[in-house]
């Protein structure tokens, strides 16, 4: 099956709503599990990896919530399709590099995703739009409880779920949220915030997880410690910290608009100017400028424009998504031209930003 035909169209994806989605783009809870009496994927020889894959894959496919799922081995996916999955945040870059002996099972509405033989035998994650950490935890906890009836996990009463990397041992949980924080970046408050979040034992990472930069002012906040604390306590800690970051971001936006409105309007106006008129633009520049446009929509500088227009472009302008819309192989330079064409076209009905917000921030955003 072609992954592109399976995936929800970007326009529909961008319209999915969730609590606090002005700032929290998505919530995710991931669990790491391994099979008893089998070497971890990084150490196992190919026959053993294949054996583990053939054990785990049918168990997942048999779950009631995985009906009509997309299930493939990684060697049967093209590198373009794998990159599309990375751009959708459904698999890690590490998993995209895997081939025979690794697999992927994704449910119909893309809220549950299972990576088989990534760093661990099984990495399962639940995804939700907006701030819904607890719902995501409940969903993945249920799936895990059903799977443990069919699979014998590597578990020690003292150390909990045993994982390839000691950083994940115990609960094997990573609770994370993807945050759009342009206000804190523009107000130059982002570094102290990152530092204080780090001090609380939480990690702040860029758009694509470990070791990536924060493109488009998007940051991922997640727990680092997995042993010695219950899953609920970890979810609760994240919720508390996220509530504070959301508050800081809202305050930063309000205070920027009050104290430095010209600076904000200048950034947003220039972002619109370039996006609406450029004839060649890189993916990186596009993301950074779309982030400013998203802020413009949020603070009411683009009356009548829905945030989903920007969020759809966030997905569509990424390299693999762009390549997928064209049959011939594109070079980076050709992609930059086509990207600019698409963005210009999409922004044609959007009038340039008004000089003063006409509506209070947040108004006009609930429209579908």
Binding interface with another protein (CB under 8 A): 34, 36-40, 42-44, 119, 141, 144-145, 148-149, 153-162, 164-167, 169-171, 173, 191, 194-195, 198-201, 203-206, 210-214, 219, 224-231
Residue nearer to another protein on the CB measure, 199 or 279: 199
Tell me the closest approach of the beta carbon of residue 204 to another protein, in angstroms.
6
Bridge partners of residue 33, in order along the sequence: 122
Q: What is the C-alpha radius of gyration for the chain, rounded to an integer number of angstroms?
A: 21
Residue nearer to another protein on the CB measure, 9 or 58: 58
Residue nearer to another protein on the CB measure, 140 or 301: 140
Q: Which of 105, 179, 172, 98 is nearest to 141 (CA)?
A: 172
In which region does residue 300 sit, left (phi positive, over 0), alpha (psi from -120 to 50) or beta (all else)? left
Tell me the closest approach of the beta carbon of residue 42 to another protein, in angstroms.
5
Tell me the closest approach of the beta carbon of residue 155 to another protein, in angstroms.
6
Q: What's the per-residue H, E or C state across 261-315?
A: HHHHHHHHHHHHHHHHHCCCCCHHHHHHHHHHHHHHHHCCCCCCCCHHHHHHHHH
Bridge partners of residue 32, in order along the sequence: 123
Tell me the closest approach of the beta carbon of residue 175 to another protein, in angstroms.
12
Tell me the closest approach of the beta carbon of residue 153 to another protein, in angstroms.
6
126, 139 contact by CB (below 8 A)? yes
95, 102 contact by CB (below 8 A)? yes
Buried b (16+ CB within 10 A) or exposed e, 306-335: bbbbbbbbbbbbbbbbbbbeeeeebeeeeb
Residue nearer to another protein on the CB measure, 6 or 153: 153
Residue nearer to another protein on the CB measure, 149 or 279: 149
Backbone angles phi, psi at 193, to 5 degrees: -65, -45
Residue nearer to another protein on the CB measure, 29 or 278: 29
Strand ranges in 76-225 using DSSP code E only, listed in sequence order:
103-106, 112-116, 122-129, 155-156, 160-161, 173-180, 202-205, 218-223
Tell me the closest approach of the beta carbon of residue 34 to another protein, in angstroms.
6
Tell me the closest approach of the beta carbon of residue 27 to another protein, in angstroms.
19
Residue nearer to another protein on the CB measure, 37 or 328: 37
């Amino acid at each position: 099956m072609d992954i592109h035909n399976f995936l929800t169209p970007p326009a529909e994806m961008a319209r999915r709503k969730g609590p606090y989605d002005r700032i929290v783009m998505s919530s995710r809870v991931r669990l790491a599990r391994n099979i008893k009496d089998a070497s971890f994927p990084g150490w196992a020889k190919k026959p053993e990896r294949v054996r583990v894959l053939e054990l785990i894959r049918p168990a997942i496919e048999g779950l009631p919530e995985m009906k009509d799922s997309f299930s493939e081995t990684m060697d049967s996916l093209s590198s373009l399709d794998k990159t599309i999955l990375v751009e959708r945040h459904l698999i890690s870059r590490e998993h995209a590099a895997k081939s025979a002996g690794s697999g992927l099972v994704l449910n119909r509405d893309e809220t549950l995703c299972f990576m088989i033989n990534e760093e661990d035998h099984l990495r399962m994650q639940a995804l939700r739009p907006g701030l819904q950490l607890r719902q995501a935890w409940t969903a993945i906890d249920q799936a895990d409880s059903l799977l443990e009836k069919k699979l014998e996990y590597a578990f020690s009463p003292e150390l909990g779920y045993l994982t390839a990397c000691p950083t994940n041992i115990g609960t094997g949980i990573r609770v994370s949220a993807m945050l759009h924080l342009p206000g804190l970046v523009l107000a130059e408050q982002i570094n102290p915030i990152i530092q204080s979040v780090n001090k609380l034992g939480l990690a702040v990472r860029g758009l694509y997880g470990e070791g990536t930069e924060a493109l488009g002012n998007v940051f991922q906040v997640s727990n680092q410690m997995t042993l010695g604390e219950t899953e609920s306590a970890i979810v609760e800690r994240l919720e508390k910290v996220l509530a504070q970051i959301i508050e800081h971001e809202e305050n930063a936006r309000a205070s920027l608009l009050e104290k430095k409105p010209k600076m904000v309007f200048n950034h947003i106006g220039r972002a619109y100017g370039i996006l609406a008129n450029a004839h060649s633009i890189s993916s990186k520049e596009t993301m950074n400028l779309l982030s400013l446009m998203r802020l413009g929509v949020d603070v009411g500088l683009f009356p009548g424009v829905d945030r989903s227009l920007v969020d759809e472009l966030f997905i569509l302008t990424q390299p693999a998504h762009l390549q997928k819309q064209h049959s011939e192989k594109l070079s980076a330079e050709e992609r930059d031209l086509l990207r600019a064409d698409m963005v210009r076209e999409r922004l044609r009905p959007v009038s340039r930003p008004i000089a003063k917000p006409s509506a209070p921030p947040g108004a006009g955003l609930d429209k579908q």
